[in-house]
């Protein structure tokens, strides 16, 4: 089976049954990518989707996931390689073309800090998006945070009050002592930064987040986005430990439009996509994989219901928290 890119009747039926009464009318997406397909720099599964993921295309596509919602957000590119500036130029032009939207600049670790400051301010960026695959030495799955988010960049971000979206790596993510050390060190010593730990503090194996989130309780400049997370426990741990104002909804568009789930397996996690296996072989009734975006919304709904959050707190996760973090109401 190939990767598909389409809205199906059962997606619409599922949204109306499970999610329509949960998702508020106004949504701030704290983690979404805009791109031309070539910006990826390698053949990506999302090639089945739009060639040019402009802001307009993003808004049209979000109609599949949450029809009728007014969606703004915090955007960044996908070019985590030498030609990253093409990706930044596209995102700055698109994301900042309409009010209510914000953007982060892709920043390779070797970029001169003053050049980074000047470029980000000139182009209108509100923060930084770092990523381990910028590192030349492969593989990068065990990189330490300062290798791809340097202290010099953190100092500039502190002075400029930038947000930073951090997708940490290493096997046990937040439960890794070095990762925890650097998050605490940066947040404590550079209070001007707004650190967003992507993917529920990379809680793709939720137990890594539930084990360690307590160590972030005293930090008041850390947030977590729920992007592409399709299980509830990491979301619940963040909500109970950091509080409902620190969780941000994010789609991780375009990954939101792939079908499947990410589940904990042992001390790791595994992504199951529609083309990972022949679903007929494991269920005689036939499994129909849903959008990752819908799986994530269902998990968030479960977390919110279990913890009995108020409507205002839910609106915070979907809209107000992200905007307040960016300094607007």
Residues lying near Zn ion in the complex (CB under 5 A) are found at 252
Dihedral angle sign, alpha carbons of residues 141, 144, 147, 151: positive
We find the least distance from the C-beta atom of residue 255 to Zn ion, in angstroms, to be 7
Output 80 or 182, the one with its CB closest to Zn ion: 80
Q: Which is nearer to Zn ion, 105 or 313 (CB)?
A: 105
Q: From the CB of 285, what's the least distance to Zn ion, in Å?
A: 33
**Beta partners for residue 29, in sequence order:** 73
Cβ 225 to Zn ion shortest distance, Å: 9
Q: How far is CA 248 from the centre of its chain?
A: 9
Q: Residue 275 and residue 161: Cα distance in Å, rounded?
A: 42
Which is nearer to Zn ion, 19 or 166 (by Cβ)? Answer: 166
Q: How far apart are CA 53 and CA 96, in angstroms?
A: 14
Residue 33 beta carbon to Zn ion: minimum distance, rounded to whole angstroms: 6
Q: Check: CB of residue 320 under 8 Å from CB of residue 30.
A: no
Least distance (Å) from Zn ion to the CB of residue 171?
Answer: 20
Query: What contacts 301, CB < 8 A, 6 or more positions away?
Result: 18, 19, 22
* For Zn ion, the closer CB: 76 or 319: 76
Residue with smallest beta-carbon separation from Zn ion: 252
The span from the CA of 56 to the CA of 45, in Å, is: 21
Residue 252 vs 295, nearer CB to Zn ion: 252
């Amino acid at each position: 089976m190939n990767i598909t890119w389409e809205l199906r009747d059962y997606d619409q039926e599922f949204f109306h049954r499970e999610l329509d009464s949960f998702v508020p009318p106004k949504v701030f997406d704290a983690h979404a990518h805009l791109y031309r397909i070539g910006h990826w720099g390698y053949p990506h599964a999302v090639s089945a989707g739009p060639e040019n993921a402009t802001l307009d295309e993003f808004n049209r596509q979000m109609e599949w996931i949450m029809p009728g919602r007014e969606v703004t957000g915090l955007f960044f590119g996908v070019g985590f390689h030498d030609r990253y500036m093409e990706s930044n130029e596209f995102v700055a032009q698109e994301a900042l073309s309409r009010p209510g939207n914000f953007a982060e600049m892709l920043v390779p670790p070797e970029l001169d800090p003053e050049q980074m400051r000047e470029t980000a301010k000139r182009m209108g960026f509100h923060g930084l998006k770092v990523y381990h695959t910028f590192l030349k030495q492969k593989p990068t799955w065990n990189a330490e945070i300062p290798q791809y988010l340097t202290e010099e960049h953190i100092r500039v971000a502190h002075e400029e009050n930038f947000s930073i979206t951090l997708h940490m790596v290493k096997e046990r993510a937040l439960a890794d002592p070095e990762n925890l050390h650097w998050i605490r060190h940066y947040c404590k010593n550079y209070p001007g930064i707004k650190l967003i730990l992507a993917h529920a503090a990379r809680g793709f194996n939720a137990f890594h987040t539930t084990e360690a989130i307590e160590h972030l309780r005293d930090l008041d400049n850390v947030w977590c986005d729920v992007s592409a997370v399709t299980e509830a426990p990491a979301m619940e741990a963040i909500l109970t430990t950091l509080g409902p104002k620190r969780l941000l909804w994010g789609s991780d568009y375009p990954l939101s439009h792939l079908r499947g789930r990410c589940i904990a397996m042992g001390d790791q996690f595994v992504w199951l996509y529609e083309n990972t296996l022949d679903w007929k072989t494991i269920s005689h009734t036939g499994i129909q994989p849903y959008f990752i975006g819908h799986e994530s919304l269902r998990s968030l709904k479960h977390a919110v219901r279990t913890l009995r959050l108020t409507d205002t707190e839910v609106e915070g996760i979907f809209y107000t928290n992200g905007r307040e973090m960016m300094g607007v109401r």
